[in-house]
Structure 1
Amino acid sequence: MPGPPVIRSAADVTALINSGRARGGKSRAITFIALGGIFIDAYDFSSIAFGLGDITKTFRLSPVQEGVVSASIMVGALLGALAGGYLVDRLGRYRMFMADMIFFVVAALACAIAPNYELLTGARFVMGIGIGIDFPVALAFIAEFNAMRGRGGKVSLWQPMWYLATGASFLVLLPLYFLVPMAQHGDLWRWAVGFGAVPAVVVMLVRHKYMDESPAWAAGQGDLERAARILKNSYGLDVEAGDPGPAVTQRASGLKEFAKLFRGRYRVRTIQAGAVSALQSVQYYAVGFALPAIIAGLLHQGRLTSILGPLLFNLVFGVLGGLLGVRLSNRLGSWKLALSGFAICFLALAGLGLMGSASGLALLGVGGLLGIFVFFHSYGPGAQGMTIATLSYPTSLRGVGSGFGQAMLRLGSMLALFFFPILSSALGTGVFYAVALAPLLGLLVLILIRWDPTRVDVDAEAGEPAPDRNRGELTR
């Protein structure tokens, strides 16, 4: 009888998981626990979207101060993503996974009771740091505990989870609308934001009880004995720790690791991942995130409709579109999903611009186009920006790579949150034409760069010499 498999590197661990010998165990549970963090990320981002108008009135904010409150969480998320991506590779997935939950609990409660604009802005900034750290580590966990076939779909599960959480924030608001006296409706946002501390505590406790470090990361640090123990605990798989090669024990070294993203075979992948992440973020935060403002401002509907509309769009169109993308991931791959999604989002936004200020039955047409936009954003580019950024790099660079993708996503969101109110005020419904430039640019990038990480085992190529350009990644 052959002896137990021998592991000498992170690539060996990944190959073992890809071989199918490491099945079942905790991998599925770890995937959903990681997605629990993304649920909190999305909930905390969206819970304040409904209340921005009330916050402005409560604290008598100027337009600039309103923009600062709205963008503060994005600035924190940008810094958290850049620092968190490095720390995830340096300190490990598990340590960072546990630490970032503290940000969510403290910041959510501070937001809920904030007596002034300054404390609210500071708490949102801290919350953003936690989100920026959590996203790269969650996606790295999902990628490293699942086999290559189906990995793209597992990583893409973050998108329907995002819409489920966004819908949940409006689901919390709905009963409060009827239970809280009308005179106190201006404080509904405090209840929604503060409630975010509850799932954060639950996820933190579950993570502590059931999660372990990534075996691929442990092996990449030269701790093969620990990697073997994790494989035993997580999959019930007996493996033997061999002698690590000299390159295995190299650790992340800050800016040098970021520089690697723009060298050799990784350069065009990084450009594609960064562009898709940023552009999908622009279109989402201009339209999907701003649904309450669009319904109340551009479509002139009341407070209850501003709760029910986003609730419907997120829980129905967003979740179902994301699940369809997960379902088709193995068949189509990331590139085709992002390309087709951008194309339909462009057509939906152009249609919204043509519809203009609708009333009566025409509102149903506007609602249908908004639903189509949310569905195909979730199905395609919404998920694939971060999926590409996570799967395009080997274990040693995965945290930095996904952190860079998060940083580009946050840059896109800050641009959308800052310029959309200004443009909508100047252009009215013509603002949808301006937003349509984002999916159009996304289409052009994908036509030029045809890289699809769901078709390649990047950990297997990590030990190969890196050519300056991968064949097939650029169109000829």
Structure 2
Amino acid sequence: MSASIAPDRAHAPAAATTDARPVIRSAADVSDLVNRGAAVGSDARVVIAIALGGVFLDAYDLGALAFGVKDIAREFSLTPTGTGFVASAITFGAIIGALIGGYLTDKIGRYRVFMADMFFFVIAAIACALAPNAWVLGGSRFVMGLGVGIDLPVAMAFLAEFSRLKGRGNKAASIAMWCPTWYAAISVSYLLVLGLYAVLPESHSGWLWRLILGFGAVPAIVIIAIRSRYISESPVWAANQGDLAGAAAILKRSYGIDTRVDASPATAAATRTPRKASWSNYGALLRGVYLRRTVLATIIAIASSFAYNAVAFGLPVIISSFLKQSMLTTILASLALNLCFAFVGGLIAVRTVPKIGAWKLTVGGYAFQLAALVGLAIVGRPANGAEVVMAIAFLALFLLGQGFGPGSHSMTFASLSYPTSLRGVGVGFNQTLMRSSSTVSLFLFPVLSAALGTKVFWIIAAAPLAGLIALLAIRWEPSGYDVDAEDFEASGGRVAG
């Protein structure tokens, strides 16, 4: 992919005759400095780590009920419909949260939104742990979902806007880190279940799900406690709002780059102002060059979410029911599969995306998943040891493909298909549709697996197939492309599609 940048895009940072500091004349200059990378010893990596901490919370809270649904249904005497309500309440909240959070991320800034949504996690986690009935539990999970939905647009904005453009640790690699972080959170929930399962007496086994859900408040409190030391506003977003002095201060504090602002009237008059945050920006995602990117990112997100939720969140059910294993074996097998394949696949994506690109990795990941799901459908319910091994191998293949393919890069496509002025609404729109797919998947998988058994994998296989078709039809590579430059191009400039 290529792009011709208009000659008057922006002034490159230049040194003054008596002051060696880079000069900031526009938001484009700030973006250029960020793209070159942070100074050694700066706080930029810590900011990225804290943003990933938000992703950790999202994943932990979404997956925390994987082992507790049966206990909740028994404690509150829930029907299958009631169980589905409790299980899917968090995704309903995430749908609304993503739509609102995407707009607020662009409107009031990354920092304010990120710090506000941490309180959702603390309050909702404690309320879930103390829930006296299913209604309170479902309502608390819905509030938690609001936090999850609000968090991902702002977390992806931080990852994209505090990372260099090219080379190791580039924007695509930083965003891909969300994937191993996600699987690490799922693994932590499994480890907690394993530890509590071992120490809780049989008479108190009903506490297990409450303790697991309540633990979600702990990392949120830690993030709140350290926010003032490291977290800053995105310098590119601040510059886009016309606050060049604020952007310069952030660059010095978080990036270790000391700059000088040129605020002369002539410079201000020549500076092109990027689009301002507005609800109408959601419509901009469906116009011009962004339409193709939005279609591709949306199909990847929906296909990835539908298949992953059905297989990964249903993994304990698959292992315990289809493979006839005990609770302890189910926990250990689920933990091993997530760590050894999904988590490792995510690390592979982070290391290889700067060289290989997100498009090729996503194609390869979907191909792995399609082969795995077809294999699971053909094997069916294992009848002997050899078939059990084959079924586990196919599950591992699916999770590996998810890790280095769509699991990592669904967010790469969603985040890097849009410049700073549209990134919040772009990720928010993507997450709204993806969470809708998650809700359908979480609700349908128990119903379909009960009715169809292992034949359900034929239906799930349609998801990676759709992803492959979309990728082959729209060959858009976001890794290494300076999408933020599109905010500063003159009307005659061309952008890559």
What TM-score, normalized by structure 2, do the two folds share?
A: 0.91
Distance 2:145 2:295 in 1: 24
The match for 2:347 is 323
| Separation (CA, whole Å) in 2 of partners of 1:320 and 1:312 | 11
Match of 2:446 among 413, 416, 421: 421
- 2:292 matches 1:271: no
Which range moves more in the overlay, 320-329 or 201-210? 201-210
Deviation per residue, 1:352-384 (Å, 9 max, x gap): 111111144121221111111111101100111
Cα deviation for residue 302 of structure 1 reads 1.9
Pick from 105, 124, 127 the counterpart of residue 144 of structure 2.
Answer: 127
Q: Which moved more, 1:120-129 or 1:30-39?
A: 30-39
**Residue 440 (structure 1) aligned with residue 468 (structure 2):** no
Q: 1:289 corresponds to which residue?
A: 313
Partner of 1:116: 133
Instruction: For residue 129 of structure 1, report the CA deviation from its aligned partner.
Output: 0.4
3-state secondary structure, aligned to 2:418: coil
Q: Is the 8 A contact 1:111 1:120 kept in 2?
A: yes
**1:167 paired to 2:187:** yes
- Contact 1:112-1:190 at 8 Å conserved across structures: yes
Deviation, structure 1 residue 23: 5.2
Contact 1:298 1:357 in 2 (8 A): yes
Tell me what 1:280 maps to. Answer: 304
SS at match of 2:278: coil
Equivalent residues in 2 for 1:140-219, closer than 5 Å: 140-149=157-166, 150-219=170-239
Matched pairs, number: 471
Code of the residue aligned with 1:381 in structure 2: it is P
- Is residue 128–residue 137 contact of structure 2 (8 Å, CA) maintained in 1? yes
Instruction: Provide, for residues 9-33 of structure 1, a one-character-per-residue CA deviation record: whole Å limited to 9, x for no partner.
Output: 3322111122347555111111111
Please give the alpha-carbon distance, in whole angstroms, between the structure 2 residues aligned to 1:355 and 1:370.
Answer: 12
Counterparts of 2:412 and 2:85 in 1: how far apart (Å)? Answer: 29
Point out the more displaced range, 59-68 or 7-16: 7-16
CA distance in structure 1 between the partners assigned to 2:251 and 2:205 by the alignment? 51
Q: Structure 1: give runs of 5+ residues left out of the alignment.
A: none
Output one character per residue of 1:399-456: Cα deviation in whole Å (capped at 9) or x when no partner: 1111112112201211211211111111100111110000000000000001111131
Q: What is aligned with 1:64?
A: 81
- Offset at 1:185? 2.1
Q: Does 1:382 align with 2:382?
A: no
- Distance between the aligned counterparts of 2:213 and 2:228, measured in 1? 24
How big is the shift at 1:187?
A: 3.0
Q: Which residue matches 2:4?
A: none
- Indicate how the Cα distance of structure 1 residues 462 and 343 shifts in structure 2: closer, same or farther if over 3 A, else same: same
Cα distance change on mapping 1:234 and 1:53 into 2, 3 Å: same
CA contact (8 A) 1:218 1:224 kept: yes
Amino acid at match of 2:33: L
Whether the 8 Å contact between 1:265 and 1:468 is mirrored in structure 2 is: no
For the residues of structure 1 that align with 2:209 and 2:77, how far apart are their CA atoms?
A: 16
Given residue 136 of structure 1, which amino acid in structure 2 is its aligned partner?
P
| Partner in structure 2 of residue 35 of structure 1 | 52
> d(CA) in 2 for partners of 1:7 and 1:465?
19
1:223 corresponds to: 243
**Among 357, 371, 382, which residue is 2:381 paired with?**
357
Q: Distance in 2 between matches of 1:342 and 1:364?
A: 22
Greater shift, 414-423 or 72-81, is seen at 414-423
**CA separation of 1:421 and 1:206: change in aligned 2, threshold 3 A:** same
Range that drifts further, 356-365 or 92-101: 356-365
Measure, in 2, the Cα distance between the counterparts of 1:9 and 1:271: 32
Give, as a single letter, the amino acid of the residue that structure 1 aligns with 2:281: E
Distance 2:51 2:93 in 1: 21
**Aligned amino acid, residue 17 of structure 1:** V
- Is 1:239 aligned with 2:263? no
Partners of 2:365 and 2:96 in 1: CA distance: 29
Q: Deviation digits for residues 340-359 of structure 1, max 9, x if unmatched?
A: 10011000010011111114
Structure 2 distance, partners of 1:28, 1:65, is 43
1:305 to 329, 332, 337: 329
Query: Which deviates the most, 10-19 or 82-91?
Result: 10-19
* CA spacing shift, 1:250–1:469, aligned 2, 3 Å: closer
The alpha-carbon deviation at position 8 of structure 1 amounts to 3.3
Which amino acid letter does the alignment assign opposite residue 327 of structure 1? Answer: R
- For residue 455 of structure 1, give the secondary structure of its aligned residue in structure 2: coil
SS at match of 1:460: helix
Could you tell me which amino acid in structure 2 is paired with residue 205 of structure 1?
A: A
* Aligned partner of residue 453 in structure 1, secondary structure: coil
Change (3 A) 1:460 1:133: same
Q: Deviations over 1:55-101 (max 9, x none)?
A: 11111111111111111100101111100010011111111111111
- Residue among 389, 396, 405 paired with 1:371: 396
The 1-side partners of 2:470 and 2:274 are apart by: 36
Out of 83, 86, 94, the residue aligned to residue 111 of structure 2 is 94
Query: Residue 392 of structure 1 corresponds to which residue in structure 2?
Result: 417
Structure 1 85/16 Cα, relative in aligned 2: closer, same or farther at 3 Å? same
Matched, 1:82 2:99: yes
RMSD: 1.8
2: CA distance, partners of 1:322 / 1:188: 29
Aligned equivalent of 2:483, options 454, 458, 466? 458
Q: Do the aligned partners of 1:92 and 1:217 also contact (CA within 8 Å) in 2?
A: yes
**CA offsets per residue over residues 231-267 of structure 1, 9 Å max, x none?**
111122121223445653753121x110111111111
CA contact (8 A) 1:44 1:193 kept: yes
SS of corresponding position for 1:107: helix
- How far apart, CA to CA, are the structure 1 residues paired with 2:193 and 2:79? 26
Q: CA separation in 1, counterparts of 2:462 and 2:207?
A: 36
Asked if residue 340 in structure 1 is aligned to residue 364 in structure 2, the reply is: yes
Percent of aligned pairs sharing the same letter: 48
- Kept after mapping to 2: 8 A contact 1:16/1:22: no
| Partners of 2:38 and 2:44 within 8 A in 1 | no
Q: Is the 8 A contact 2:274 2:487 kept in 1?
A: no
